[in-house]
């Protein structure tokens, strides 16, 4: 009870509006385009003598096809294993000697490679990135080595994770035409089947400068850094002709249900409702709704399901993607409850929002949380580079970042009620229920 009181007190404290945020609005970013088509976005920040560099390639799992799913993520690994100028392991060695390190991540819509380093290392880092863009080593040895690593990653992060398997099943059932139906890590059979010539063709199509955005933030003069960028990347030839991904997903016309028999500790349920893309006018309201339902112990789902002793955990999330995706719910049952009870409790929460909307304090709390989260991310040069590039790729223009807080602030209680009624309905719903093996056996024996 004491924990509940503390949580409710904290919720009251954050309902007052925070000062008008200006961190995102004050971002000064210059856009440049090289002759080979590469976009360069620069943001000067002289607070520390460091630079953060991100290269965003407009390629993710949505650009794949059956038979080569997971190849974008596979390249995330292969990109660190040598190029014409730098042999295997030299990429990391050069970065470490410069006081830096490299990393990358892949999602449905894009792939990003990143380094943060002392400003004196800029020329070396630019040379590394340009060389692997120009001449990545795509050899049988490189492919087989990284294929094995990615397969093991899939086993650990997906196959051995109940919630990850549920999410994979939900996306596969929710989407029948759009490439969001397969996982970023890829299907195991496809990972086994990817051929060297297919990998080479994929690289030649999607990893050229004309399909990339270079983001630089930190301690530099833009005019000087552009000269170095031109020196490193200017000679990388334009290549490939990436085609737009068609959004041919048909309108869902009824609820879809999937059962996943899995040896887990407790049963669980996951729901996904079809919702619009990140740049849609209703996206901010869906993000605010997600925060109201799921952020913190005073959120509606936590109070209804966890404090109500129906579930051990519960959350909701709006998946903001380049194409229409899902608004998801997840709940893990307790030892004495069922997945069906969790689903019914989630339905009660949704019905309440549809019928009565949300309170003024809930709405302001959610806006404050979203605003605070965004402002916090904008405190470092690495996070700024990541946000600038991600907005550029997913929203089509990094400038969408400067208005995101205003769009959150503009959301009203009526907007929340409207989007809940419009999108969180059964015709748009896909449900995945995690069934324990002993329960599945009981049902089979009863038949």
pLDDT digits (tens, 9 = 90+) for 357-400: 999 999 999 999 999 999 999 999 999 999 999 999 999 999 99
Domain boundary among 199, 233, 267: 233
* 416 within domain boundaries: yes
Which domain covers residue 440, as residue numbers? 250-446
pLDDT at 438: 85
Q: How far apart are CA 389 and CA 29, in angstroms?
A: 11
Arithmetic mean of pLDDT, 46-66: 97
* 218 within domain boundaries: yes
- Indicate if 389 and 280 belong to the same structural domain: yes
- Indicate if 167 and 269 belong to the same structural domain: no
pLDDT at 12: 34
- Indicate if 388 and 318 belong to the same structural domain: yes
Question: How confident is the model over 309-351, as pLDDT tens digits?
Answer: 999 999 999 999 999 999 999 999 999 999 999 999 999 999 9
* 24 within domain boundaries: no
* 240 within domain boundaries: no
Question: How confident is the model over 87-129, as pLDDT tens digits?
Answer: 888 888 999 998 888 999 999 999 999 999 999 999 999 999 9
CATH number, domain at 309? 3.30.830.10
Between 276 and 23, where is the model more confident? 276
- Indicate if 222 and 279 belong to the same structural domain: no
Domain boundary among 173, 203, 233: 233
- Indicate if 415 and 309 belong to the same structural domain: yes
Arithmetic mean of pLDDT, 76-87: 93
Average pLDDT, the chain: 92
Domain boundary among 183, 203, 233: 233
- Indicate if 35 and 160 belong to the same structural domain: yes
Residues in the chain: 447
pLDDT at 26: 77
* 286 within domain boundaries: yes
- Indicate if 276 and 349 belong to the same structural domain: yes
- Indicate if 201 and 266 belong to the same structural domain: no
Are the beta carbons of 429 and 256 closer than 8 angstroms?
yes
* 195 within domain boundaries: yes
Q: How does strand 111-118 pair with strand 311-318?
A: unpaired
Q: How far apart are CA 287 and CA 423, in angstroms?
A: 13
Task: Give me 336's structure tokens.
Answer: 């004495």
With a CB cutoff of 8 Å and minimum separation 6, the contacts of 189 are: none
* 5 within domain boundaries: no
N- to C-terminal Cα separation, the chain: 45
Between 88 and 289, where is the model more confident? 289
DSSP string, 30-75: EEEE-TTS-EEEEEE--SSSEEEEEEEES-SGGG--TTSTTHHHHH
- Indicate if 156 and 294 belong to the same structural domain: no
pLDDT at 444: 66
- Indicate if 165 and 305 belong to the same structural domain: no
- Indicate if 373 and 430 belong to the same structural domain: yes
Q: Model pTM? A: 0.91
With a CB cutoff of 8 Å and minimum separation 6, the contacts of 116 are: 50, 51, 52, 53, 100, 218, 381, 382
Question: How confident is the model over 148-206, as pLDDT tens digits?
Answer: 999 999 999 999 999 999 999 999 999 999 999 999 999 999 999 999 999 999 999 99
- Indicate if 193 and 110 belong to the same structural domain: yes
Helix axes 360-377, 381-395, angle to 10 degrees: 110
β-bridge mates for residue 57, sequence order: 111, 212
| Three-class SS state of 6 | helix
Compute the Cα dihedral for 231, 233, 238, 244 and give only its sign.
negative
């Amino acid at each position: 009870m004491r924990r509940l009181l503390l949580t409710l007190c904290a919720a009251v404290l954050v309902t007052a509006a925070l000062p008008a945020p200006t961190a995102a609005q004050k971002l000064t970013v210059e856009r440049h385009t090289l002759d080979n088509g590469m976009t360069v976005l620069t943001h000067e920040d002289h607070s520390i003598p460091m630079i953060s560099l991100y290269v965003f390639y407009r390629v993710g799992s949505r650009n794949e096809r059956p038979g080569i799913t997971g190849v974008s993520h596979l390249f995330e690994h292969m990109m660190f294993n040598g190029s014409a100028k730098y042999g295997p392991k030299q990429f990391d060695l050069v970065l470490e000697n410069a006081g830096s390190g490299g990393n990358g991540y892949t999602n449905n819509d894009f792939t990003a490679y990143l380094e943060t380093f002392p400003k004196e290392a800029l020329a070396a880092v630019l040379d590394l990135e340009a060389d692997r863009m120009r001449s990545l080593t795509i050899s049988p040895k490189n492919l087989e080595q990284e294929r094995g690593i990615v397969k093991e990653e899939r086993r650990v992060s997906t196959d051995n994770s109940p919630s990850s398997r549920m999410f994979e099943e939900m996306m596969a059932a929710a989407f029948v035409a759009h490439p969001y139906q397969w996982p970023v890590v890829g299907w195991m059979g496809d990972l086994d089947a990817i051929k060297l010539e297919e990998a080479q063709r994929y690289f030649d199509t999607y990893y050229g400068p004309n399909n990339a955005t270079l983001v630089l933030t930190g301690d530099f003069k833009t005019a000087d850094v552009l000269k170095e960028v031109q020196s490193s990347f200017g000679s990388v030839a334009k290549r490939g002709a990436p085609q737009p991904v068609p959004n041919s997903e048909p309108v869902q016309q009824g609820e879809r249900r999937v059962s996943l028999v899995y040896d887990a500790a407790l049963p669980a349920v996951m729901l996904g409702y079809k919702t619009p893309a990140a740049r849609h006018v209703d996206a901010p309201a869906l993000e605010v709704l997600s925060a109201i339902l799921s952020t913190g112990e005073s959120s509606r789902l936590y109070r209804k399901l966890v404090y109500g002793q129906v579930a051990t955990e519960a959350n909701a999330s709006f998946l903001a993607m380049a194409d229409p995706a899902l608004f998801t719910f997840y709940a893990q049952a307790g030892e004495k409850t069922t997945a069906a009870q969790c689903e019914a409790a989630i339905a009660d929460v949704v019905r309440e929002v549809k019928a009565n909307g949300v309170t003024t304090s809930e709405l302001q709390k959610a806006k404050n949380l979203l605003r605070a989260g965004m402002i916090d991310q904008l405190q470092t040069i690495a996070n700024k580079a990541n946000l600038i590039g991600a907005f550029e790729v997913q929203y089509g223009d990094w400038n969408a970042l400067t208005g995101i807080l205003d769009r959150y602030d503009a959301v009203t209680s009526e907007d929340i009620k409207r989007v809940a009624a419009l999108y969180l309905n059964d015709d748009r719903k896909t449900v995945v229920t995690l069934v324990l093996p002993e329960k599945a056996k009981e049902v089979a024996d009863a038949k």
